[in-house]
A = this chain, B = another copy of it.
Amino acid sequence: MFKISKKISKSLGRVGILATPHDEILTPAFVTVGTKATVKSLAPEQVVGAGSQVVLANTYHLYLEPGEKIIKESGGLHKFMNWPGPTMTDSGGFQAFSLGVAYGNNLSKFIGAKSPRQEEIDEAYDEEKEKKAKITEDGVEFRSIIDGSSHFFTPEKSMQIQNDLGADIIFAFDECTSPHAPKEYLEKASARTHRWAERCLIENCKLKIENSKPQALFGIVQGGRYEDLRKESAKVIGNMDFGGFGVGGSFVKEDMATAVKWVNEILPQEKPRHLLGVGEPVDLILGVENGCDTFDCVAPTRMARNGSLYTKLGKINIMNAKFKNLFEPIDEGCGCYTCQNYTSAYVSHLFRSKEMLAATLASIHNLYFLNNLMSQIRESILNDTFFEFKENFLRNYKN
C-alpha cells in the first residue's frame, strides 16, 4: 500500500507512493480539505487543475448534513461529490470537541499560537470546562452547530459513519485535548485515546468483513507538547495494526517539528504518516523533513476566501490598494490557472465587488501554491537537494 522511493539522508523525510483504490498519491502530498463533500467554491475539475491529488472531507459535518446515509445511498463520497481521486475522512473527533462543546472554542483558537506561556495557561485551565465536553470512557456527547441538538460519538460510531461515507483512508476516533490541558489530564486522555484506537480497529475489522470496503484505517498519536507522552503514544499506537498513522493534537507552532520528530522516530517506517491540520508552507517543509508524508489544512482555501494569497515572497492581501491597478499575475511565474489567465487587478476587483469568482480564483491559486510546493519538495528529495531547496525557499518566503 505504501512504497518509499527515496529517503532524505540524515533526516526522517522520504518520498513515496501511497496506493488507494482510487489512484496513487505521490507523497509528500498536501491533502485538500472538502469539508462538506465540496472544496469550497471549486468544481472537482478545478481542484484537479490546482494539482490536488486527494480530498479530505469532515465526518462531523457530513454526519450532521446531509447525513451519512444519504451519501451511502448515493454510492459513497466519491460518487456523491464527483471526485475521481483518493479521499480521506477524519474521525469527527476534532469538530465534536472544538465545535460541539463550549470549551472547545479555545482548542482551535490556540492551535499555532506563538509562545503561549504554558505555565500560566496551565494554571488558568479550568477542568470544569472540560466536563462540558461530556467525555466518558464510552465516547463524547456534543451539540450540533446547526440546530443545537445533542449527539453521541463513540469509536464504533465514528467507524460506522466513515464506513458509510466510504473514503479510501479513514481515521481512528481520538480525544482532542485543549492546549490548556495540564499534563495529568493529557495522560488520562492519551490512555483513553489508545483504548479507543483498539475499539476502532475491532469495529473497522467487523465492518470491512460485512461491507467489503477496502478502507485503510489510520491510528492517531496524541500526547500534546510532552515528549514522554508523545513517545508513549507513538509506541502504543505504532504497535497496533493500522494502515498508517495520523499525528494529531495541538502544538504551539515552534514545537511542531520537534513533536513530530519524537513521534516519527518511533512509528513504523514502512507505513504512511499524516500530520493533521498543518498547512503553512514553512510547516509543510519542516513536517516533511521530520518524517510526515501527508498533511491537511483548511488554511489555503479559508485564507483565499479572505483575500490572503501565497507568493514565493510570502503572503499578500489582495485587498491592498496597490493591487487595484497591477496588471501582473498574483505571483510572477506561477503556473496556476489564476496567474496564467488573470491580473492582480482583476482578482482585486472581484474581491472588492464581493463576487463569488474571487474565492474560486484565490482558492485555485493557494491550493496550487501548496501542491506545487509539495511537488518541488518531492523532486528535491529525489535529486538529493532537499536542504538547498529548503534554505532557498525560507530565504525568500517572509511570513
In this assembly, does A270 line the interface, its C-beta being within 8 Å of a C-beta of chain B? no
| A80 and B346 within 8 A (CB) | yes
**Which B residues are in CB contact (< 8 Å) with A66?**
324, 345, 348-349, 352-353
**Which B residues are in CB contact (< 8 Å) with A73?**
325, 327, 345
- Nearest chain B CB to A359's CB is how many angstroms away? 6
> What 0/1 readout, one digit per residue, does chain A (21-51) give for beta carbons within 8 Å of chain B?
0000000000000001110111100100000
Chain A residues 341 to 378 lying within 8 A of chain B, measured CB to CB, are 341-343, 345-346, 348-350, 352-353, 355-357, 359-361
- Closest residue of B by beta carbon distance from A69: B325
In this assembly, does A81 line the interface, its C-beta being within 8 Å of a C-beta of chain B? yes
Contact residues on A (Cβ < 8 Å of other chain), bracket: 35 or more
A74-B345, A349-B70 given; A41·B356 CB < 8 A: yes
In this assembly, does A241 line the interface, its C-beta being within 8 Å of a C-beta of chain B? no
| A74 and B356 within 8 A (CB) | no
**Which B residues are in CB contact (< 8 Å) with A325?**
70, 73
**Which B residues are in CB contact (< 8 Å) with A40?**
355-357
**Which B residues are in CB contact (< 8 Å) with A75?**
327
**Which B residues are in CB contact (< 8 Å) with A342?**
82
In this assembly, does A138 line the interface, its C-beta being within 8 Å of a C-beta of chain B? no
- Closest residue of B by beta carbon distance from A61: B353
- Nearest chain B CB to A66's CB is how many angstroms away? 4
Chain A residues 296 to 325 lying within 8 A of chain B, measured CB to CB, are 324-325
A38 to B40 CA separation, bound complex (whole angstroms): 18
How many copies, total?
2
| A355 and B74 within 8 A (CB) | no
A361 to B45 CA separation, bound complex (whole angstroms): 13
A66 to B318 CA separation, bound complex (whole angstroms): 14
Partner of A43, one of B46, B82, B327, B352: B46
- Nearest chain B CB to A287's CB is how many angstroms away? 29
- Nearest chain B CB to A336's CB is how many angstroms away? 13
In this assembly, does A254 line the interface, its C-beta being within 8 Å of a C-beta of chain B? no
| B346 and A65 within 8 A (CB) | no
**Which B residues are in CB contact (< 8 Å) with A349?**
36-37, 65-66, 70
A82 to B342 CA separation, bound complex (whole angstroms): 7
A38 to B81 CA separation, bound complex (whole angstroms): 25
A349 to B66 CA separation, bound complex (whole angstroms): 6
A74-B346, A345-B74, A352-B65 given; A38·B357 CB < 8 A: yes
A73 to B326 CA separation, bound complex (whole angstroms): 10
Chain A residues 252 to 273 lying within 8 A of chain B, measured CB to CB, are none
A82 to B349 CA separation, bound complex (whole angstroms): 14
A327 to B36 CA separation, bound complex (whole angstroms): 18
A75 to B346 CA separation, bound complex (whole angstroms): 12
**Which B residues are in CB contact (< 8 Å) with A80?**
343, 345-346
Knowing that A41-B356, A42-B357, A82-B341 touch, tell me 17 more A-B residue pairs with CB under 8 angstroms.
A36-B350, A38-B350, A40-B355, A40-B356, A40-B357, A43-B357, A43-B360, A43-B361, A65-B353, A66-B324, A70-B349, A73-B327, A73-B345, A74-B327, A74-B346, A80-B345, A356-B360
> Which 10 pairs between the two chains have the least Cβ-Cβ distance?
A41-B356, A66-B349, A82-B341, A38-B357, A36-B353, A38-B355, A65-B353, A80-B346, A70-B325, A74-B327
**A residues in contact (CB < 8 Å) with B:** 36-38, 40-43, 46, 65-66, 70, 73-75, 80-82, 324-325, 327, 341-343, 345-346, 348-350, 352-353, 355-357, 359-361
